[in-house]
Structure 1
């Protein structure tokens, strides 16, 4: 008969302490999953960074193609995903679209990540 060796538990509270004060309802879980899926892509993370670092924290789609080395339709697709997830705001000006961060969107995601790390 095989035996199982148990490793010592150094901090029982780390594995048993809830990471949130209350469970997510279905609606909140779906919204959070959509946001996390949106940022779980290297190109989209770069886009968020480029927009945030641009003058006035706002960038035209025409300013985002070259740094990424991607075509306009591909960049527009990724931007649409970020807009749909509530991370970026889109404003049409003449023939160009300008993008900015939705106030508080990244703070909300960072708060969830910090909470999960406790």
Structure 2
């Protein structure tokens, strides 16, 4: 059985600013103003990264008056972690049984 990991989600989270946003949102729900202060990124740049994270389902929005708060969807990260765990388990099985493909 082939174990797969979502390459699109890895690419999305691997961006340094998006990873920083994910790490900040893992601690608390923040609005764009807070994220600008914490990251030092320009608001337009930050909004673009938040859009990518939102479209990927990594974060969700919560309107609050004229502000928009962002919160992390931990189940998305849990699913990605489970994919890596399955990949590691597959590798352990291969190592344990010394399975290898014969050379022609």
- TM-score bracket, normalised by the shorter chain, equals 0.7 to 0.9
**Which residue is equivalent to 1:51?**
25
Select the residue among 15, 37, 44 that pairs with 1:41.
Answer: 15
What is the aligned length? 89
Q: What's the RMSD between the two structures over aligned residues?
A: 1.9
TM-superposed CA distance for 1:42, in Å, is: 0.9
1:33 offset after TM fit, Å?
3.4
Higher relative contact order (CA 8 A, sep 6+): 2
Structure 1 gap ranges (5+):
1-17
Cα distance in 2 between the residues matched to 1:96 and 1:87: 19
Partner of residue 76, structure 2: 105
CA–CA distance in 1 between the matches of 2:8 and 2:57? Answer: 9
Question: Which structure dedicates a bigger proportion of its chain to helix?
Answer: 2
Q: TM-score, with normalisation over the residues of structure 1?
A: 0.67
Q: Does residue 1:83 correspond to 2:15, yes or no?
A: no
**Larger Rg computed on CA atoms:** 1
